């Protein structure tokens, strides 16, 4: 069993360890989970990720509860306990309640890298936050990340049945991942921008004030706009700029907050886009973070605007499972690549 130190990172270390264990069949115990965070230990969305991946690979778990700073994940136990005439499979159906506004897209992130190792499809239905703080909104996941992964052989789709905004959540979405043959993700050049779409969503009570329209216009007045209003358990809004470049994709998001005007929300996303295009990197920094586990299992190289602590700690954890991922620092950003 691998013994992993979770003190130097956050939830991405949990999700990456789950991916590695499910693909390899190797067990791990993680200690000091998120110890450096202001709310250390597993939170609701991390527990949901553990439970979802455990369902998909029939793993045994221990210590999986909110606040726990140590837990174990053992896919080998389930394999050893399987009947002699039954081969353990990777895939299947899971339904997990994240709770409150814990991020559904972040839980989905722990399942996507499994695509190349699946024996049967994954169908994962989650309830929680579709557009939550400190996480990519659902439109980023749906219109930036998934299209890029599909371009590299990962057959995954998501349907959103209900939006869930901070702080109550209550959203629902279903991810389907088919057994796939991923191709190496080589994203080292951006090229010229070829398209830009503003996806703006707000809770239905904000329609009279045209919050979604204002967000989209402030974010990108000359871009294509996709406007939506949705019933939800609490008022909220989000805007995502999905940029398509000659050789890559990137996304820039902002969430509505009490006391922040719709125009300001849109301008925050626009500022992030402008900062990205004035600097290096083939993909935005958030996407670069999220692609590291996929590069580990599928191969490739990704040029990021910068190497974040998320990337560094993720690379260190992948090495524990014998994935050889390197970081090359250049004048044009940093390249994360598989050996």
The answer to whether 199 touches 242, Cβ cutoff 8 Å, is yes
For 113, the 3-state DSSP assignment is helix
Residue owning tokens 């703080």: 133
Residue owning tokens 């389930």: 78
Catalytic residue among 46, 143, 286, 310: 310
Closest Cα partner for 116 from 177, 182, 56, 57? 182
Query: Could you give the angle at the alpha carbon of 99 between the alpha carbons of 254 and 48, nearest 5°?
Result: 95
**Sign of torsion, CA 107 110 111 112?**
positive
For 264, the 3-state DSSP assignment is helix
Find all residues with CB under 8 Å of 42, minimum gap 6, and list them.
Answer: 14, 33, 34, 50, 64, 65, 66, 67, 68, 69, 71
The answer to whether 61 touches 1, Cβ cutoff 8 Å, is no
Q: Are strands 333-338 and 325-330 parallel, antiparallel or unpaired?
A: antiparallel
Q: How far is CA 121 from CA 76, 81, 303, in A?
A: 21, 23, 31
**Sign of torsion, CA 311 314 316 322?**
negative
The answer to whether 294 touches 322, Cβ cutoff 8 Å, is no
The Cβ of residue 194 has, within 10 Å, a number of other Cβ atoms equal to: 10
DSSP 8-state code for residue 111: T
Tell me whether residue 329 is one of the annotated catalytic residues: no
Point out the residues that are catalytic: 310
């Amino acid at each position: 069993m691998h013994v992993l130190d979770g003190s130097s990172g956050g939830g991405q270390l949990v999700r990456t360890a789950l991916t590695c264990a499910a693909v390899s069949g190797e067990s791990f115990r993680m200690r000091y989970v998120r110890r450096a965070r202001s709310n250390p230990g597993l939170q609701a969305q991390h527990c949901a990720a553990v439970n979802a991946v455990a369902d998909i690979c029939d793993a045994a778990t221990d210590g999986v509860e909110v606040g726990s700073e140590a837990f174990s994940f053992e896919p080998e136990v389930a394999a050893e306990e399987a009947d002699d005439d039954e081969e353990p499979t990777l895939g299947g159906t899971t339904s997990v309640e994240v709770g409150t506004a814990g991020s559904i897209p972040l839980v989905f992130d722990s399942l996507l890298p499994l695509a190349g190792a699946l024996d049967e499809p994954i169908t994962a239905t989650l309830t929680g936050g579709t557009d939550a703080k400190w996480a990519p909104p659902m439109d980023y996941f749906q219109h930036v990340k998934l299209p890029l992964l599909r371009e590299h052989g990962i057959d995954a789709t998501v349907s959103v049945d209900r939006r869930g905004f901070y702080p109550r959540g209550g959203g629902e979405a279903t991810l389907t991942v088919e057994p796939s043959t991923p191709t190496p993700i080589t994203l080292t050049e951006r090229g010229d921008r070829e398209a830009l779409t503003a996806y703006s969503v707000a809770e239905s009570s904000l329609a009279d004030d045209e919050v979604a329209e204002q967000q989209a216009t402030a974010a990108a007045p000359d871009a294509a706009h996709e406007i939506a209003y949705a019933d939800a358990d609490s008022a909220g809004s989000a805007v995502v700029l999905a940029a398509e470049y000659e050789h890559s994709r990137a996304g820039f998001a902002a969430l509505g907050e009490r006391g922040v005007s719709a125009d300001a929300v849109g301008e925050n996303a626009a500022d992030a886009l402008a900062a990205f295009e004035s600097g290096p990197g083939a993909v935005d920094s958030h996407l670069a973070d999220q692609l590291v586990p996929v590069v580990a299992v599928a191969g490739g190289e990704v040029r990021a605007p910068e190497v974040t602590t998320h990337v560094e700690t993720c690379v260190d954890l992948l090495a524990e499972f014998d994935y050889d991922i390197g970081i090359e620092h250049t004048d044009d950003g940093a390249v994360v690549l598989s050996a």
